[in-house]
Copies of this chain bind each other. A is one copy, B any other.
Amino acid sequence: MIQSRITLSEISKALNVSISTVSKSLSNSTEISAHTKKRVQEFAKQCNYVPNNFAVSFRKGSSNTIGLVIPNILNPFYAKVLVGIENYLDKYGYKLITSISDETIEKETKSLSKMAGGYIDGLIICVSKETELKSNYNHINELINQGTPVVMFDRICETLNCDKVIIDDYKAAYDATEHLIKDKGCKHIIITSLIDDMHHGKLRVEGFKDAMKAHNLEANTGVLVAGTAEELKQKLETKLKMDTSIDAIFGVNEQAVLQSIHTTRQLKSQGLNKHIKIAGFCNQCQADYNPMLIIVNQNAKEIGVEAAKLILNRIKKTTKKGFQTKTVEVYLT
């Protein structure tokens, strides 16, 4: 690496000017005459001059790079958040370095320590499941104490000193449930969850329950919680066979929605004749080309954009305000 790259000093020699003149010319400083600037700039271009990023970052003490840590890139929710962040940062000349935690605190910590040491100007993170369950935020706090601005999204920790971006999980679930009841005429709705150990998972179930109660419908018997997709499938099958009055399933997360679709589709091919509506939190259901679904669009890209905005504001010190929690609007699709 750094093989044939030309440096300021070489340019300065070739042009018989000082290094600082070259440096200033290339940054278009007003201190330098138009003539010299032009000469230097043209020569630099000719030689394919590219500044050594490390020297620059080292000298300036900042890298124009934001770190992103997400649990899983195969989940389209996170992929979309990434796209939102990337687009925004790109506009402002910032680079993005991404790490995947695979839902483990170990990989997460490792990533953070790699990113520490001046590698990043700021961190955007959705913590791993393990991190949230264990409530262990030391690795993040270390970065914060080091002075690196942090933005958490989706899975947040109230007590950390950083900005946060979330959606109103409770309200989203409430609204979607109400939509099933009022607009779709459903009365026997059950809810499926594979993330009932997570905070936002619980919030969504609460939203569902309260919406049901508000319409005098029974909610408690229809909560199907499982640890694995397979387990959920079993429970769902049993439930659907036992209670044929069920007319809708609400899925609390990506996998729960997909599994619900799958299971009902399978039961149908086995002769179940009833049409069961499906709704829920899902970011890849356009892939399924199923227009009948009612999807809570989490607006993932927007979450990304908001997170990126917050972090840049913090870095550029545009905001002096205390840390804020931004709630991104969601909508039904």
- Which chain B residues border A265 with CB–CB below 8 Å? 289
- Would you call A116 an interface residue if the criterion is a C-beta within 8 Å of the partner chain's C-beta atoms? yes
Some 7 contacts from A to B, beta carbons below 8 A apart, are A2-B61, A48-B142, A50-B146, A52-B118, A53-B118, A98-B98, A258-B289
B residues near A55, Cβ cutoff 8 Å: 58
Closest Cβ of chain B: how far from A276's Cβ, in Å? 15
Query: Residue of B at shortest CB range from A148?
Result: B1
**What is the CA–CA distance of A189 and B265 in the complex, to the nearest angstrom?**
26
Q: Copy number in this complex?
A: 2
Say yes or no: B121 contacts A62, CB within 8 Å: no
CB distance from A213 to the nearest CB of B (A): 32
Indicate if A261 sits at the interface (CB-CB under 8 A): yes
**Complex contact B1–A259 (CB within 8 A):** no
Is residue A322 within 8 Å, beta carbon to beta carbon, of the partner chain? Answer: no
CA distance A51 to B284 in the complex (A): 41
Among A54, A80, A96, A118, which residue has the most Cβ atoms of chain B within 10 A? A54
Q: Once bound together, how far apart are the Cα atoms of A332 and B264, in whole Å?
A: 26
Residues on A facing B (Cβ under 8 Å): 1-5, 48, 50-55, 57-58, 61-63, 65, 73-74, 76, 79-80, 82-83, 86, 90, 95-100, 107, 110, 113-114, 116-119, 121, 142, 145-148, 258-259, 261-262, 265, 284, 287-289, 315
Q: Which residue of B lies closest to A52 (CB)?
A: B118
Query: Which residue of B is nearest A119, CB measured?
Result: B53
A113 touches B50 (CB 8 A): yes
Q: How far is the CA of A79 from the CA of B100 in the complex (A)?
A: 11
Q: Is there contact, CB below 8 Å, between A58 and B61? A: no
